[in-house]
Amino acid sequence: MKVLFIGNSHTFVHYVPLRVTAYFEEQGEPLEAVMLTHPGVGLDWHLEQPQTYFNLMTGGYDAVVLQHNAHPFPGRESLMEAGEKMAALVPAGTQIFLYMTWSERLNPEGQKPMSEAYEALAERIGAVICPVGRIWQAVARAHREEDLYFADGEHSSVLGASLAAAVIGRTLLGLPVRPSVCYADAKRLETMPQDPRMIDLVLKDDGLALEAGEQ
């Protein structure tokens, strides 16, 4: 399967697409993952980038995974408008998957409107939901001793990124996405080695930074 991931830091922090690839390898399935991301942007930003058009039109992808702004979530209408425009670019042979993100640590009530917006868009454009946000909340309640969040309370920890990858990987393969099985997958993916040359989110000088070599 060849999959294009389009999103922002919630896709590239701790390299969710690589963790999805690792999950596919566990299942004995090959996956070629391509990633188009930029910090802090939504699908509306990607609609203005030539690489988005080029990849969708010439990449020969089996699937595209779309992820919009999350923190703050700009609302249902923003997601619907950008998602519908993006869907219009996707070739008929490419299945659309929507990467439902999670609300901030201090904003648990924000999950419901975010989840409902993604589900409404999926119905509108005939996409498949990767229900990361809903599974995230269930796992967070069941495993309070473990933190799915990075230090900023918005981005994912390594475990959180691994959980996102497990949910996305299972959805792409048509497998069940119960919280218990996704959590078990995430614990395995959490130990996946990552090339230290890759740019990732780190703590630096009491703040957040994107750097290579400090995993």
Q: Could you tell me the CATH number of the domain that includes residue 182?
A: 3.40.50.1110
Taking only the tens place, the pLDDT of each residue in 32-77 is 999 999 999 999 999 999 999 999 999 999 999 999 999 999 999 9
Q: How confident is the model at residue 187 (pLDDT cuts 50, 70, 90)?
A: very high
Secondary structure, 3-state, the chain: CEEEEEECHHHHCCCHHHHHHHHHHHCCCCCEEEEEECCCCCHHHHCCCHHHHHHHHHCCCCEEEECCCCCCCCCHHHHHHHHHHHHHHCCCCCEEEEECCCCCCCCHHHHHHHHHHHHHHHHHHCCEEECHHHHHHHHHHHCCCCCCECCCCCCECHHHHHHHHHHHHHHHHCCCCCHHHHHHHHHHHCCCCCCCCCEEEEEECCEEEEEECCC
Tokens of 16: 């969710």
Tokens of 8: 């922002």
Of the listed ranges 78-87, 149-158, 171-180, 195-204, the least confidently predicted one is 195-204
* Residues spanned by the domain of 98: 2-212
Model confidence pLDDT, tens digit, residues 91-128: 999 999 999 999 999 999 999 999 999 999 999 999 99
Q: How many domains does the chain have?
A: 1
Retrieve residue 178's tokens.
């119960």
**Is the distance from CB of 192 to CB of 162 less than 8 angstroms?**
yes
